[in-house]
């Protein structure tokens, strides 16, 4: 199948690698976001999808917007190609309706939830933050709505208590590659029918910002731990100590009971009181400083348990 692939981030790169190695898919074009400035020096960084496409010698285009982008050049152009199907995973830009309809069989989106639950930009994070015990992958034919198109294929995944964003994403990528291999050929052949979504059961998850990582210490230890599971590595969870942002890079619930927001230093361990039980802090990073273990932080900041969190 002559295929055009839309994707940008790590999850998308894993999907692309899975279908590159599958003889069912003939990747004719990869569309990814433009290189982005990163770090203090604002050096341009290629997306994971671009790096992988370059490695395999695939044609790449990086439009700032698809609103004026023509998926099918004029017939006299050397690059003219009619695509059988499009595959989209974590692309990150709006795809206009004319491009959605350009491939013969449309564009299939790899969505990391059991639609119609968690439509939107942060389905994995939202499932973890909300303490869900199950998520999954949905293959959906894209339409003009926000993850509202008909469903081709779904498979559930049990979320383990210690799963985090990274582990769930890795598991879902493997499921998605299997799903594309199973479902797309039958769909293109006309032997797999689609199922409309039940909009009455839909829920929307928002695009995340750094502020979503701020911890409310009145929440339970499990709620805070779920926030950490969903938001690590980005945007990460944090609090304010001594008027500076304090990132909590590695935490665990504990069976200690402290007052809400109370900091306890016990040997080389740091505990912070939540709404019920305390959270143990294993690794942290103060604004403007390098990340450090709890033990080293205690040695460097003797007053950690004397300054209130906010």
The reply, when asked if residue 246 is annotated as ligand binding, is no
Burial pattern 113-145, b for ≥16 Cβ within 10 A else e, equals bbbbbbbbbbbbbbbbbeebeebbbbbbbbbee
The count of residues in the chain is 310
Residue 31 burial (CB count, 10 A): 25
Is 254 annotated to bind a ligand? Reply is no
Is residue 116 marked as binding?
A: yes
Per residue, what are the HEC states of the chain? CEEEEEECCHHHHHHHHHHHCCCCCEEEEEECCCCEEECCCCEEECCHHHHHHHHCCCCEECCCCCCCCCCCCCCCCCCCCCCCEEEEECCCCCCCHHHHCCCCCCEEEEECCCCCCCEECCHHHHHHHCCCCEEEEEEEECCCCCCCCCEEEEEEEECCCCCCHHHHHHHHHHHHHHHHHHHHHHHHHCCCCCECCCHHHCCEECCCCHHHHECCCCCCHHHHHHHHHHHCCCCCEEEEECCEEEEEEEEEECCCCCCCCCEEEECCEEEEECCCCEEEEEEEEECCCCCEEHHHHHHHCCCHHHCCEC
Residue 203, marked binder: no
Q: Which residues are annotated as a binding site?
A: 113-116
Q: Which residues are annotated as a binding site for (6S)-5,6,7,8-tetrahydrofolate?
A: 113-116
């Amino acid at each position: 199948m002559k295929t055009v692939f839309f994707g940008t981030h790590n999850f998308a790169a894993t999907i692309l690698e899975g279908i590159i190695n599958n003889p069912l898919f003939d990747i004719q074009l990869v569309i990814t976001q433009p290189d982005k400035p990163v770090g203090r020096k604002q050096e341009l960084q290629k997306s994971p999808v671009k790096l992988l496409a370059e490695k395999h010698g695939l044609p790449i285009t990086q439009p700032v917007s698809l609103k004026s982008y023509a998926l099918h050049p004029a017939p006299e152009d050397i690059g003219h190609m009619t695509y059988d199907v499009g595959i989209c995973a974590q692309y990150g830009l709006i795809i206009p309706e004319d491009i959605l309809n350009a491939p013969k069989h449309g564009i299939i989106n790899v969505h990391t939830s059991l639609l119609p639950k968690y439509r939107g930009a942060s389905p994995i994070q939202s499932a973890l933050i909300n303490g869900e015990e199950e998520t999954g992958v949905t293959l959906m034919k894209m339409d003009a709505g926000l993850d509202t198109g008909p469903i081709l294929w779904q498979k559930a995944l049990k979320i383990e208590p210690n799963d985090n964003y990274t582990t769930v994403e890795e598991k879902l990528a493997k499921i998605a590659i299997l799903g594309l291999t199973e479902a797309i050929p039958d769909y293109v052949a006309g032997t797999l029918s689609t199922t409309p979504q039940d909009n009455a059961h839909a829920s929307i998850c928002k695009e995340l910002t750094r502020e979503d990582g701020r911890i409310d210490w009145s929440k339970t230890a499990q709620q805070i731990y779920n926030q950490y599971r969903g938001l690590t590595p980005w945007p990460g969870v944090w609090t304010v100590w001594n008027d500076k942002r304090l990132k909590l890079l590695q935490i665990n619930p504990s069976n200690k009971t402290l007052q809400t927001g109370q900091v306890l230093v016990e040997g080389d361990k740091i505990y912070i009181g939540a709404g019920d039980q305390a959270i143990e802090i294993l690794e942290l990073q103060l604004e403007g400083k390098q990340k450090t273990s709890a033990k080293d932080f205690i040695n460097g900041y003797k007053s950690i348990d004397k300054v209130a969190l906010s």
